[in-house]
Chains A and B, each alone.
Chain A
Amino acid sequence: MAKVQIIDRPRRWDVPFASRRLPANAVAGIMRLPAFAALDRREFPDDLQPQDIIANDSRILSFRTGDVIYAAGAYQTSIFIVLNGAVRMQTAVPAPPEAQRTEADDATWLRRTFLKGRQRLQKLEWKRDIVPQPSSVLAQNDIFGETEAMARTARQASAVAAADRTTVLELRWPGARELLHWSDAFRRRVENLYRIRSVEAALRQSFLFNGMDDELLRGIAKQCFFETHGGFGWTHIYQRQRTEKPSGDRPLDHEPVIVEDGQYLEDLFLLRSGFARLTVQTNHTEQTAGFLKAGEVFGASELGESMRTGGPALASFGLRAVGYADIVRVPAHFIEERALHAVAQAQRTAGPPRQRVAYRGRSQLDFVVDNRLINGTKAMLVDTTRCVNCDDCVRACAATHDNVARFERQGFSHGKFSISNACMHCADPVCLVDCPTGAITRDQATGNVLIDEKTCIGCASCESACPYNNIRMIDARNSSGQLLVDKDGTHIRTAAKCDLCTGRAGGPACVRACPHEAITRVDLRELQTLTN
């Protein structure tokens, strides 16, 4: 048998989103929609015209009343436009914090974490207690789904068809990205929507405004501020930091300040997406005290305290944006008027913010935050006091993935632990952003970031995007093991990374194969401490 198989090099337009490209008249009709009316073809490169984008990267779906277009909690990065009929957005609101405590909250001991890691992985994602909320109905030409597409989070609300013969246009992220990238008008419109809706969603999500009247909520939302600190290009800054490592400077010093420690607080901060670092001023230096992840609140206890006592609200921590952070600022007087009881309750039950009971030792915290590892929901945590370098994990990964291992057993080390170069399936997966074909997506159910090898064209955007070097380009082979080459004999490359053995029974092969239980896949946002 020959060692190589000659095939055509995969290209951007090879795999349309629908079963085939949309026909030209449908595309023409879509282009006339208000959403796309502002698209100026001249803004687009010749080989990337909007009609081609739409033809290739969108599809039209039909629904009847009650059909679920997408469910809350699913990981999707498509933008939808209502063509016909109506769509109801049904919000799923998480219950107050105390009802939401997961096992992760109790996992102060890494050993327990190891043992229950598998169960934990399954439990973490879907533990959302639904509290019924009033819904909104979208009509023809409304855009929906853009919030999660741009923030790369799970769907905050379910989209349910509200009329018979509801048709929607689903534009997948690669296409949406191109449109957003090249068309200013389109971008402005979508970003506007994103802001408004983010604020509303943030308020709805927060336990503080649980049960609030929808009308009222929207009113408050109009008064809130949506801020972005840091930038989406944070990964590049981060990578630069890593390679250069100038002495004396800490990553912390370069992070944009949102709130100073001890600052007078006038607003409540809801972290919409991204991460924020909590800091304290000690001995004339600023030290890390913890971090906030998306969905969490800053300043609730301080404001509550000040409401009770009448004194001023002073921030007990500083707040800096790690990478980037989308903040929704809610003016304090709204809190006073509407959410007093909730705040008081929060103060009583939650106590100090969880993250304050921090990782053991500042150094561990710094390590995790500085390296942006808190992004990882499935980071491969290796206990190096148990690892005997037998490489059984690598062997197992190779055995389950065409004899090519998908990770490297080295990575960020700190003390007794090391986070390997295995895809962490980030909370905010920046690798998704630039994929032209949408080969790299999040699995709808689990949120794992997966690469579809058939669709991948080997452009290596994801590889360069990943701040942690967890994606590598490998030679593509067919199922018989033959190297795939194009007509010129150049190896066809494809992106490869850890896929958490999604679809295989038993969970990640590396975890199963380690004889000394040294590996576990952990959500670094949830871990209290990296103890042993």
Chain B
Amino acid sequence: MSIARYVKFWRFAEKSDRALRTKRNIISAWVAVLSAGLFILAIAYASDSRHFMPGPVTTVHGTLEQCTDCHSNVSKGQFGWLHAVFAPADPDKDTKSCLTCHMMGEAARNPHGLELARLDAYVRRAEASPHASKRSTASRIREATLPVERTFPEGVFCATCHKEHNGQTFDLTAMSDAQCHTCHSVQFDDFHSSHPEFDSYPFRRRTRINFDHSGHFKKHFPEWRTKKNAKEVPPACTDCHTVSAEGGHMDIKPFEQICTACHIDQITGVERATGPKGITLISLPGLDLETLKEKNVDVGEWPEDAEGEISPLMRLLIGRDEKHRNTLKVTDELDLLDLTEASDAQIAEVKTLAWEVKRLVHTLTTAGMTDFFRRIKSATGARISKDLATQLSASMPHDVLLAAQREWLPNLASEIDETPGEENEDTSPVFTTETVSDESSGTDAAEQEEEDAEEKPKTVSASAASAGQSGSWRIDPFGRLIKGNQPPEDEEDDEAEEEASDQEGEGSDDEVDTADSDVSENNGAEEIEVDTEGWTELGGWYRKDFAILYRPVGHADPFLRAWLDLTSRLFAEDENNLARPAFEELTHKDAQGQCAKCHSVDATKNASRVVNWTPSSLASRESPFTLFDHRPHFGVAQKDGCFSCHGMSKAKGYLETYKGTDPYTYVPNFKQVKKETCAACHGKMQVRQDCLLCHKYHVNEIATPVLTTEVPKN
């Protein structure tokens, strides 16, 4: 039985299936309308617009509750987004929201956050360096269809690379190598095959501390081992070097741990064969008293046996104004011990000089340290903080001066009283409270603080905005002379303070000594011959012959340090510059303390000088773009250890380069690291070789503002 039998009628003339299709269309229309309606209701009754999110924000942004915190285009409220649909979006507005917390300075919208001039310099350098630029076909297509200039006409915005709303644990900083390459004119496939060769990496300049590794390894260490104490020779690199906090540098341990065993005697002068072991601060120059007497030049009493010269440091005390600078200039040309052929004018200057010296001694003994520094201020224009002054004066005990004065110029007081004086009329404050501003002319204080103005990136710290004057000198907690609010450097120097406190004791000893000798002289007691220099073997002030000298207490002697810092900043190429002779005396090859033997001296941009006390600082890292961490490499270093990557260079001339003041003339001790060293693992084996492993995009620091919390008022 077939069902065909039951299909008797046919609807040939009627439209078939219309009912179903119509029903379907009606249902569809209703569904569309209802869903749109439900959507609108859902928006209207929602508490906020968070349900529009395509995904949660990353956990670090999770506390931002309002969409408007970042989306500057929409307004608050359930339907606040409606007008934004058609309003043109300005990506810069959203970028400003990001920069509220992630402060990146003025150049935030530039690639890498660098000023365009610097960026340009980098680009040219990259293009000039030897490389094989391989632009893949895909890259060419991208360049033709999506040129970078059109993508970033106004700059790179945060949202260009960092896409939020991808989940709580999404890595916002992830970028592919190809994405990095998009903007770069030098492109390549991967590190291993076609990354450009390293161009003088990692050494771009001579080391700040003059340490000849080859010389030590080949000559000094073997000598010390055989002749002296082998235990003091460091057997391994890590005895002197330690990994820095961020892993990129191998910091040097403090002098006291590694260098002192062999070098301390050089500094304190124990090993010194010739010359005074201390630095002359005050000395009575020798004068041709006969000639002066013949010419009826009255210089008052003057020790006949004085034979020395005006010390360079004294010049700063004497040359406090134009007149006296002229005096110094004239008397420099004379041999003060033989004035037979001097002209009257010159002799007059000599007289002036003599009286000036006497006045100096007098005021020093009577007026105190303030006068001391007033003189320096007059001479150089530098106002100094009291901390700095303490170091510059190294707590000179009064009795040293007094004893010296009594011995050299016993009647000084009365002489000075009788002589019409030229007192310092300057009554303005000498010291500043915390910082000292440089009121002098000629030197740009802001320039002087930077070690390498071109290369070093500016650090914009949060407190920079609230910093006071930027050109102020001060002593930082570690006793270093710094300008403005430079972040403190690594080294701690507690010992300087210890040494300073020791000065008191020594000074008082000296005083006693002097007093004794004075009494003995007056009472006709026996004179005791003391080698004051040898006596002051631990450093400090001493008087010898007609000079007051200061012997370095040890490494990082604060006196030497402070004077070097001051005179280096005041240094100028001009031969009349007063600080120049002082600086040269202190950095001479045979200078007391031998500071410049290891601490290299660089010329700054304005031709003053800077002494490199520390090996390097975070701020002075040479490659702002590159990251490197030694620590992961320790585990894979071969049996050669450090030499696996840093081979000794056979080039000669390391020490010669320190004779000049250009840090970029250099001969490194170690071979530059070549790309193939890195590529041995990065690329060939299963080791990462992506751009972000070694390079960073945000070259400058991204700072988060510290909370401004007001101190409670009640």
Contact = CB atoms under 8 A, between A and B. Distances in A.
B12 A405 contact: yes
A391 B16 contact: yes
Contacts of B7: 410
Interface in B1-59: 7, 10, 12-13, 15-17
Nearest to A390: B17
Interface string A377-407: 0000000000000110011001000011101
Contacts of B17: 390-391, 394-395
Interface in A396-439: 398, 403-405, 407-410, 421
A474 interface: yes
Contacts, number: 29
A474 B12 CA distance: 9
Contacts of A372: none
Interface residues of A, number: 17
A516 to B, nearest CB: 16
Nearest to A403: B15
Contacts of A128: none
A395 B10 contact: no
A474 B13 contact: yes
Contacts of B12: 405, 407-408, 421, 472
A13 B354 CA distance: 156
A394 B13 contact: no
A391 B17 CA distance: 7
B16 A404 contact: no
Contacts of A404: 13
Contact of B16 (A405, A421, A474, A496): A405
A472 B9 CA distance: 13
A410 B12 CA distance: 10
Contacts of A407: 12
A116 to B, nearest CB: 29
B4 to A, nearest CB: 9
Contacts of B16: 391, 394-395, 405, 409
A408 B10 CA distance: 8
A405 B10 CA distance: 12
B15 A472 contact: no
Nearest to A409: B16
Interface string B80-92: 0000000000000
Interface in A484-521: 496
B634 to A, nearest CB: 70
Of B10, B12, B17, chain A has the most CB atoms within 10 Å of the CB of B12
A104 B10 CA distance: 34
A42 B12 CA distance: 43
A409 B16 CA distance: 10
Nearest to B18: A395
A405 B7 CA distance: 19
Interface string A95-136: 000000000000000000000000000000000000000000
Interface string A166-208: 0000000000000000000000000000000000000000000
Nearest to B11: A408
Contacts of B15: 394-395, 398, 403, 405
B21 to A, nearest CB: 8
Contacts of A496: 13
A404 B12 CA distance: 8
Interface string A459-495: 0000000000000101100000000000000000000
Contact of B13 (A390, A391, A410, A472): A472
A391 B15 CA distance: 10
A191 to B, nearest CB: 38
Contacts of B13: 404-405, 472, 474-475, 496
Contacts of A391: 16-17
B3 to A, nearest CB: 12
Interface string B515-531: 00000000000000000
A409 B14 CA distance: 12
Contacts of A474: 13
Contacts of A410: 7, 10
A409 B7 CA distance: 13
A382 to B, nearest CB: 15
A114 B17 CA distance: 25
A371 to B, nearest CB: 14
Given A410-B7, A472-B12, 6 more contacts: A394-B16, A395-B16, A398-B15, A405-B12, A409-B16, A475-B13
12 contacts: A391-B16, A394-B17, A395-B15, A398-B15, A404-B13, A405-B12, A408-B10, A409-B16, A410-B10, A421-B10, A421-B12, A474-B13
Interface of B: 7, 10, 12-13, 15-17
The 5 closest A-B pairs by CB, nearest first: A391-B17, A391-B16, A394-B16, A408-B12, A474-B13
